[in-house]
Amino acid sequence: MSAYSENGFKIGVVGATGAVGEEIVSVLCRKNFPVKSLQLFSSARSAGKVKSTPLGEITIGEFSIEESRKCDFVFLAVDGSFALEFANQIASDGGPIVIDNSSAWRMDPNVPLVVPEINIESAKGKKLIANPNCTTSIALMALYPLHKEFGIKRCIISTYQAASGAGALGMKELLDETKKYVTTGELPSNKIFAHPLPLNVIPHIDKFQENMYTKEEMKVAWESRKIMGLPELLISCTSVRIPTLRAHSESITIETEKPVSAQRAQEILKLAAGVKVVDDPLNNVYPMPLTATGSFDVEVGRIRANDVFGEYGLDFFVCGDQLLRGAALNAVLIAEALIKS
């Protein structure tokens, strides 16, 4: 069991019973974050329940602005409508630093959108900070160090996203419907996803926009440009839901400003924080959800020259635990970096 720190910080987690909220508590403990006290907030339905955590059993409290403002850091693991209504009320007038995992504030020009290894400077002095979309943060762990070395002109991404991207209910639907098919032979059904997910892939995540990209796909473009400070960066993304439980995978092609080689790209990525190069394909070693699940690092492999863009092109494959780097870990790293600074 992890221990509280008398010299630590008062932490609040709103949405503590959801998949991301639970991971935030776990990451705080795995990283030995200096926690003086931990308050778990949820809806009235869950308030009063006792939750086991690495810091011991904690009684969940019903969310209130007054109680949350007693904290030093508040992590929001809730939907966008809740964050829009309450985030500023928590953070304003000397309130705590609020790190929001929803999409509510990401594109607000006055709210920093942060991957700590890239742009933590933008968060200093701010009370409300947005956490990026899971696929964005996973991709940028590899894209940003490559951009610093070679410059990126264009980027084409295909994402293969696990059921956990739809939360605990998405994972449950995948497991329950798979079990139903295996045990009874009855075809899977769906409530959470647009179509049954077992035995299937679904090229549809979030709502379709006027340009016929989905909002999930556009988030990757919008957020990558903001985080990297490249408002004109050309990005095209296709997002696909696949029948895995956890960890998102992405196939990425980049066209660069400077000549790029697979060998030099691998050298750069081996030095990048938060990245693990997993690239020995002749021995069947490459990024996979099974190996990325539970890991703080994003796996990068299948690094090779791109035959379309020649010496200015690179292909690679990334895989990262979207509940960690794509959500909870990134949020905790933001808080950790702000403390150090």
Query: Which active-site residues does the annotation give?
Result: 134, 248
Cβ atoms of residues 273 and 298 within 8 Å: no
Q: Which of 32, 133, 14 has the alpha carbon at shortest distance from 73?
A: 14
> What are the CA-CA distances from residue 116 to residues 102, 227, 266 (Å)?
17, 10, 22
- Number of residues written out for the chain: 341
Give the integer Cα–Cα distance in Å for 41 and 67.
9
List the one residue out of 335, 327, 336, 331 whose CA is nearest residue 138. 327
Question: Alpha helices of the chain — where are they, by DSSP H?
Answer: 19-30, 65-68, 80-91, 116-119, 134-150, 167-184, 215-228, 262-271, 289-292, 329-340
Q: Of 93, 91, 92, 52, nearest to 75 (Cα)?
A: 91
Partners of 52 in the beta sheet? 57
222: how many CB neighbours lie within 10 A of its CB? 19
- Closest by CA to 139, choosing from 294, 262, 233, 253, is 253
In the chain, what's the furthest Cα-to-Cα distance? 61
Distance of CA 122 to the CA centre of its chain: 19
Q: How far apart are the first and last CA of the chain?
A: 28
In the block, residue with structure tokens 């020259």: 305
- What residues are paired with 38 via a beta bridge? 11
Contacts of 121 (CB under 8 A, 6+ apart): none
